[in-house]
Amino acid sequence: MLSSIPITFTLNGQRRTVEAPPEQCAGDLLRDGLGLTGTKLDCREGECGSCTVIFNGEPACSCLMTAAQLEGAEVITVEGVGAPGTPHAVQRGFVLEGAVQCGHCIPGMIVSAVSLLERNPAPSEDEIRYAIAGNICRCTGYAKIVSAIQRAAEILAGEQAPAAVR
Ligand code: FES
Ligand code: FES
């Protein structure tokens, strides 16, 4: 049986300490240990992007990280993006553009898009496609997902504009 150690990190803005085996998959810890099942684990080898979280400000595959690597880190999962009554602009963009089919890839897409727009508020289509290149969608064909992220950038730009020009 694997022995557990205390791991302290910031998860969706809250400082947390959990007991987990240091070599446990970080994605499994998020899902099974902490109940954050928005993060999906499919390929478990860094190919599909369904397990994407924001790790110290950058998108990262939680399937490729150990629980020990979370120590001291700042992690944002899809549960930390927006809220049911106040969705994030990226979530609104996905709804407005009808960019969701089965939905399985969407948490990873949302997290990658949020990370992109935090680094680059006005990305080109090529930059959007590059940012989600690690997120595989088997349903949509990507066009509506790209439109959704463009729409989110417009929403965010509108929210930041002075009231007189909105
Ligand atoms: S489950 Fe992590 S990239 Fe596929
Ligand atoms: S919406 Fe089904 S995998 Fe992307």
Predicted confidence (pLDDT) per residue in 83-96, tens digit: 989 999 999 999 99
Confidence category of residue 161, pLDDT binned at 50, 70, 90: confident
CA of 77 to the centre of ligand 1 (A): 14
**Which listed ligand is nearest to 134 at the C-alpha?**
1
Predicted confidence (pLDDT) per residue in 100-156, tens digit: 999 999 999 999 999 999 999 999 999 999 999 999 999 999 999 999 999 999 999
Residue nearest to atom 2 of ligand 2 (CA): 102
Q: Is the CB of 47 under 6 A from ligand 1?
A: yes
**Contact of 109 with 135, CB cutoff 8 Å:** yes
pLDDT of 19 strictly over 50: yes
The domain 5-80 belongs to what CATH superfamily? Answer: Beta-grasp domain (3.10.20.30)
**The pLDDT value given to residue 163:** 61
Residue to substitute in 140, 142, 146 for testing ligand 2 pocket (most ligand atoms within 8 angstroms of CB): 140
pLDDT of 2 strictly over 80: no
What is the Cα–Cα distance from 47 to 10, expressed in whole angstroms?
A: 26
Residue nearest to atom 3 of ligand 1 (CA): 46
Average pLDDT, the chain: 95
Confidence category of residue 166, pLDDT binned at 50, 70, 90: very low
**Ligand 2: residues within 6 Å at CB?**
100-106, 137-140
* Burial of 89 (C-beta count, 10 Å sphere; 0-12/13-18/19+): buried
- This prediction has a pTM of 0.93
**The pLDDT value given to residue 103:** 96
| Selection from 87, 109, 57 nearest residue 159 by Cα | 87
Q: What are the backbone dihedrals phi and psi of residue 163, each rounded to the nearest 5 degrees, phi first? A: -55, -35
**The pLDDT value given to residue 28:** 98
Q: Of all residues in the chain, what percent carry a pLDDT higher than 70?
A: 96
* Burial of 19 (C-beta count, 10 Å sphere; 0-12/13-18/19+): exposed
CA of 59 to the centre of ligand 2 (A): 19
Predicted confidence (pLDDT) per residue in 39-53, tens digit: 999 999 999 999 999
pLDDT of 82 strictly over 50: yes
Q: 89-165 maps to which CATH number?
A: 1.10.150.120
pLDDT of 165 strictly over 80: no
* Burial of 131 (C-beta count, 10 Å sphere; 0-12/13-18/19+): buried
**Contact of 54 with 88, CB cutoff 8 Å:** no
pLDDT of 164 strictly over 80: no
Q: Where in the chain is the domain with CATH 1.10.150.120?
A: 89-165
What is the Cα–Cα distance from 36 to 134, expressed in whole angstroms?
A: 21
